[in-house]
Amino acid sequence: MNVLLCSINTFKRLYDISAVEVGQHFYWQIGSFQVHAQVLITSWVVIAFLLVSAILVIRNLQTIPTFGQNFFEYVLEFIRDVSKTQIGEEYGPWVPFIGTMFLFIFVSNWSGALLPWKIIQLPHGELAAPTNDINTTVALALLTSVAYFYAGLSKKGLAYFSKYIQPTPILLPINILEDFTKPLSLSFAVMEICR
C-alpha cells in the first residue's frame, strides 16, 4: 500500500511540475484562437522588409542595374542555380517556392542577430527572430514536406510510392518512418541555426 501511495505522490509532483511555464509569452485572442503575438509581430516585420525592398527595387528597373537591382538579380540567379542543381531541368516552377522559403528563413535568422528586439517593450516576454520559435520552423518543415510529396506524385504518379520498398521491401517501415521524422528534424535544424 505504501508503495502505491508513494508512486501516486511522485506522479502528482511530476504533474504539478509540468504545469510550470518556462518564460512569459505575449498572446492575442482572435476569436476563439489564442495566437502567439511575438512570433506574428516579428514575422510581419520580416515579410514587410522583404516586400518593401522588392517593391522598391522592381519599381524602376534599368538596363544598367542599380545596386539594389543588381543585388536582387544576384539573389535570383543564386536561387535558380541551387534549384537547377537540386531539382534538374524542371526547376522553373519551384523557384518562387524555394526563393520564398530561402529569403524568409535567411532574413528571419539575420533579424534575430542584427535587430535590437529588446528595445521594443511588450507586456509579457520579448521579441526574437521568427525562426527562434518551434511553431514557425515546424510550419516551414511541413510546407517543405508537402512540396516534396507533391513533386514526387506529380512527376511519377502513384509509382512514387515504390521508393518505399527500394532497395528491399523489408525497409518499408524505416522508409515510412523517415518521411514522418524528416519534418521534425528539419524544424529542429532551422531553429538551432538561429540560436
Domain membership flag for residue 25: no
Domain membership flag for residue 110: yes
The residues, any chain, with a CB within 8 Å of residue 135's CB and separated by 6 or more, are 36, 39
Short-list 137, 139, 142, 115, CA closest to 127: 115
Number of domains in the chain: 2
Per-residue confidence in pLDDT tens, the chain, 195 aa: 555 555 556 556 555 544 545 567 777 888 998 888 888 888 999 999 999 999 998 888 888 888 889 999 999 999 999 999 988 888 999 999 999 999 999 999 888 888 777 777 777 667 788 888 888 888 999 999 999 889 888 888 988 888 888 888 898 899 889 888 888 888 888 777 766
Residues 87 and 147 in one domain: no
Residues 183 and 124 in one domain: no
Q: Where are the alpha helices (DSSP H) in the chain?
A: 2-18, 37-58, 67-87, 95-114, 134-156, 172-194
Domain membership flag for residue 82: yes
Report if pTM > 0.85: no
| 34 CB neighbour count, 10 Å cutoff | 11
The domain of 88 spans 37-129
Please report which helix (H) or strand (E) contains residue 29, including its range. Answer: strand 27-30
pLDDT 10s digits, 37-90: 888 888 999 999 999 999 998 888 888 888 889 999 999 999 999 999 988 888
Domain boundary among 129, 161, 184: 129
Residues 108 and 152 in one domain: no
Residues 144 and 115 in one domain: no
Residue 171's pLDDT is: 87
Q: What gap in Å lies between CA 36 and CA 133, rounded to an integer?
A: 10
The residues, any chain, with a CB within 8 Å of residue 80's CB and separated by 6 or more, are 91, 95
With the C-alpha atoms ordered 43, 47, 50, 53, is the resulting torsion angle positive or negative?
A: negative
Residue 49's pLDDT is: 95
Domain membership flag for residue 1: no
Residues 43 and 98 in one domain: yes
Domain membership flag for residue 30: no
| 35 CB neighbour count, 10 Å cutoff | 13
- Helix, strand or coil, per DSSP, at residue 30: strand
Residue 21's pLDDT is: 54
Give the angle 20-26-31 at the CA atoms, nearest 5°: 105
Domain membership flag for residue 78: yes
Residues 44 and 88 in one domain: yes
Residue 123's pLDDT is: 72
Q: Give me the chain's average pLDDT, please.
A: 83
- What nine digits make up the cell of 138? 515546424
Domain membership flag for residue 19: no
Domain boundary among 129, 147, 174: 129
